[in-house]
């Protein structure tokens, strides 16, 4: 089926130029539209629930800069806070008061984080948390789940394997097999596989890292009691339990998934929402573990721009505004409206696709079977998704250009936005599934 164009003429010119200067024309591969076909459009500006491309097209956005934009794009409170901070200097490399304020706010919202260190991306947060867990335990192996993405950290760029259990092999050129061999991959929600791994190698396992609600292979829901099982297993084996809440932290609740499920990890990686759209990550947890970091302890970790005033001011402004407007309750209402509408449409057209939602995060799998892990998620019909994606984009609604991404609603989306989206989605689904 021929696809509508994803670019206007100005975007097309910019992309032609970009490709001569930037590998693939993009600074992060997910932006390249590779899996859906077509080419990326270039953004001129964004505000609230909308982005406008350089050709003047307006789009209703459910990507939200891949998670950070929980208040919508360019919220006034964040823009004002950045402006005020910038007037006093954009970076010092010397401690500033915002760093203390945001650390205190994080500790208040996420009680498992007794101490925290700010970094510049989610990747830095998970990379540092892993190094810290290894330094703290004196062990080297790491267990991760199939389909969980933790940034482009060498030892975590290990793909899923088939079968119940895979000793890691690298998922990217440039990652030495020896690094990947330190990573053990198990399917999500698979207690038996975990028990086997820990029975065989428990004494060598420094950390178990997971997205507590995986959101990078569609949106996968944990089985009842799964986190409690992980907590027990890691405590028994002296393994550091790391929740990667880069996506879910400050998004599904003030305290992330750990608040929703009542489980206390040893370390938490954070990012996205916490930075208000500026480049921010953080990792934190038990003081006893965090105090192994330099300058107190032997685990080295550093950053020229870490804790810089613009990023801290943006994050603080965003989080305080979420609290002021009771943003999480509002997002739950919008999410429920979208979910109810989608379920109604699926029933009307007689195709019960699997739909998962947690608050403002949602994923419609192009698959009618239950999805509990990566393998289930991969059963989605990519070709059908692509038709759906191009149809909704042509109608002015922007979902992420991949069947395996999670959608994000922001506080700037209105009920009318949701209702309009449902009309566009219905047309897209009819085209993709029925024609």
Residue 283 binds ligand PMP (CB under 6 A) = no
From 136-144, 239-247, 299-307, 320-328, give the range in contact with ligand PMP by CB under 6 A.
239-247
Interface with ligand PMP in residues 141-170 (CB under 6 A): 149-151
| Pick 70 or 425: Cβ nearer ligand PMP | 70
Query: Binder to ligand PMP among 49, 128, 189, 216 (CB under 6 A)?
Result: 216
Number of amino acids touching ligand PMP (CB under 6 A): 15
Among 6, 49, 112, 126, binds ligand PMP (CB under 6 A): 126
Q: Is 272 among the catalytic positions?
A: yes
By CB under 6 A, tell whether 252 contacts ligand PMP. Answer: no
- Shortest reach from residue 31's CB to ligand PMP, in Å: 12
Of 49 and 216, nearer to ligand PMP (C-beta) is 216
Does the footprint of ligand PMP cover residue 244 (CB under 6 A)?
yes
Does position 219 interact with ligand PMP (CB under 6 A)? The reply is no
Check residue 384 for interaction with ligand PMP (CB under 6 A).
no
Which residue lies nearest ligand PMP, judged by its C-beta? 122
Query: Cα 359 vs. chain centroid, distance in angstroms?
Result: 14
- Candidate residues 249, 265, 271, 315; the one interacting with ligand PMP per rule CB under 6 A: 271
State which of residues 209, 219, 247, 364 lies at the interface with ligand PMP (CB under 6 A).
Answer: 247
Active site residues: 149, 244, 272
Contact residues for ligand PMP, defined by CB under 6 A: 66, 121-123, 126, 149-151, 211, 216, 244, 246-247, 271, 281
């Amino acid at each position: 089926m021929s696809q509508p164009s994803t670019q206007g003429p100005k975007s097309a010119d910019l992309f032609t130029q970009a490709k001569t200067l930037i590998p693939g024309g993009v600074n992060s591969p997910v932006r390249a539209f590779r899996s859906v076909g077509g080419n990326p459009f270039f953004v001129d500006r964004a505000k609230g629930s909308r982005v406008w491309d350089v050709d003047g097209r307006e789009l209703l956005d459910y990507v939200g800069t891949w998670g950070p934009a929980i208040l919508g794009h360019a919220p006034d409170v964040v823009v004002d806070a950045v402006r005020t901070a910038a007037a006093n200097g954009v970076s010092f490399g010397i401690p500033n008061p915002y760093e203390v304020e945001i650390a205190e706010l994080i500790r208040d919202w996420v009680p498992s984080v007794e101490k925290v260190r700010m970094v510049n991306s989610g990747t830095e947060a998970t990379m540092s948390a892993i190094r810290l867990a290894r330094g703290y335990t004196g062990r080297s192996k790491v267990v991760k789940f199939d389909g969980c993405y933790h940034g482009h950290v060498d030892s975590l760029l290990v793909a899923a394997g088939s079968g119940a259990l895979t000793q890691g092999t690298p998922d990217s050129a440039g990652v030495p097999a020896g690094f990947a061999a330190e990573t053990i991959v198990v399917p999500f929600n698979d207690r038996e596989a975990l028990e086997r791994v820990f029975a065989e190698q428990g004494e060598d396992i420094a950390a178990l890292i997971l997205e507590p609600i995986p959101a990078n292979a569609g949106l996968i829901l944990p089985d009842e009691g799964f986190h409690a099982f992980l907590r027990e297993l890691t405590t028994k084996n002296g393994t550091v339990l790391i929740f990667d809440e880069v996506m879910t932290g400050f998004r599904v609740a003030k305290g992330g998934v750990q608040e929703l499920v009542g489980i206390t990890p040893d370390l938490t990686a954070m990012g996205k929402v916490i930075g208000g759209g500026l480049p921010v990550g953080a990792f934190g947890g038990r003081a006893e573990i965090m105090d192994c970091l330099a300058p107190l302890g032997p685990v080295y970790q550093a950053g020229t721009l870490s804790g810089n005033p613009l990023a801290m001011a943006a994050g603080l402004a965003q989080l305080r505004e979420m609290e002021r407007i009771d943003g999480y309750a509002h997002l739950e209402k919008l999410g429920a409206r979208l979910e109810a509408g989608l379920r109604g449409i699926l029933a009307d057209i007689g195709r019960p696709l699997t739909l998962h939602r947690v608050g403002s995060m949602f994923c419609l799998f192009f698959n009618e079977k239950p999805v509990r892990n990566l393998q289930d998620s991969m059963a989605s019909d990519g070709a059908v998704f692509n038709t759906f994606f191009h149809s909704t984009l042509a109608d002015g609604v922007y979902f992420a250009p991949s069947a395996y991404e999670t959608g994000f609603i922001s506080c700037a989306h209105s009920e009318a936005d949701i209702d309009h989206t449902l009309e566009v989605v219905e047309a897209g689904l009819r085209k993709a599934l029925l024609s």
